[in-house]
């Protein structure tokens, strides 16, 4: 009898949990990831975009509580170099093993593990970022615009944690260990 009551209680709780949680697919055509790589010893660097392959938010009790996103590393492009040959050369280099090793690791993932709201639209997110087969925790601030169905954030990561180990041969051309991202995710 006790087992039957326990089974019924667990079933009711799991039904309520699944009803209160909603998976919201993102619009990969309208969502953007801008990357920014800067030089260490002077102003400047390179930037471009990389695309989401797919992704979703988890909505619970009318707020975003999680999500998971897959990034297509083959989609990386450069936007600051005007000459096509220079653009192609940089993008090819970014795909090599000393950067993102795209042939071996064509996808990266970001999984939101925790959301702490400061108010109705601002939150601190914790996430697991997997690149080059390495998963590290990151955290960042984000703003949610529920009317526009959008989340925006900016953050930096230490590329060395994911073995993005490129070292310039020229001291004045050294690149920063930090890679910046400006992200807009739309539903």
Cβ of 83: how many Cβ atoms within 10 Å? 8
pLDDT at 85 over 80: yes
Higher pLDDT, 69 or 9: 69
The number of beta carbons lying within 10 Å of the beta carbon of residue 34 is 15
In the structure, what pLDDT confidence band is assigned to residue 44 with cuts at 50, 70 and 90?
confident
Query: Which SS3 state, helix, strand or coil, does residue 137 take?
Result: strand
- pLDDT category at 23 given cuts 50, 70, 90 is very high
Cα separation, 123 vs 88, whole angstroms: 37
Domain ranges of the chain: 22-186
In the numeric block, the tokens 């930096």 are attached to 156
pLDDT at 42: 78
Task: Give the chain's largest Cα–Cα span.
Answer: 76
Q: Pick the closest to residue 52 from 34, 36, 66, 64 (CA basis).
A: 34
List 141's β-bridge partners, or say none: 124
Superfamily of 22-186 according to CATH: Lipid/polyisoprenoid-binding, YceI-like (2.40.128.110)
Instruction: With beta carbons less than 8 A apart as the criterion, state whether 177 and 158 touch.
Output: yes
Q: What is the pLDDT of residues 116-149, one digit of tens each?
A: 999 999 999 999 999 999 999 999 999 999 899 9
Q: Are 52 and 26 in contact (CB under 8 A)?
A: yes
> By C-alpha distance, which of 45, 64, 48, 44 is closest to 56?
64
């Amino acid at each position: 009898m006790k087992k039957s009551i326990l089974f019924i209680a667990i079933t009711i709780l799991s039904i309520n949990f699944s009803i209160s949680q909603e998976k919201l697919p993102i619009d990969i055509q309208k969502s953007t990831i801008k990357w920014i790589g800067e030089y260490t010893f002077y102003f400047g660097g390179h930037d471009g975009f990389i695309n989401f392959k797919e992704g979703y938010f988890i909505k619970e009790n009318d707020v975003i509580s999680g999500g998971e996103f897959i990034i297509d590393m083959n989609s990386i492009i450069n936007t600051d170099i005007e000459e096509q040959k220079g653009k192609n050369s940089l993008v090819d280099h970014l795909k090599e093993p000393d950067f993102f090793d795209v042939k071996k690791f064509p996808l990266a993932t970001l999984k939101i593990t925790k959301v702490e709201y400061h108010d109705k639209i601002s939150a601190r997110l914790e996430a697991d970022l997997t690149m080059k087969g390495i998963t590290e925790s990151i955290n960042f601030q984000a703003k949610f615009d529920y009317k526009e169905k959008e989340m925006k954030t900016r953050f930096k990561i230490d590329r060395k944690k994911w073995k993005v180990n490129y070292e310039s041969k020229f001291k004045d051309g050294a690149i920063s260990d930090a890679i910046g991202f400006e992200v807009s995710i739309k539903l």
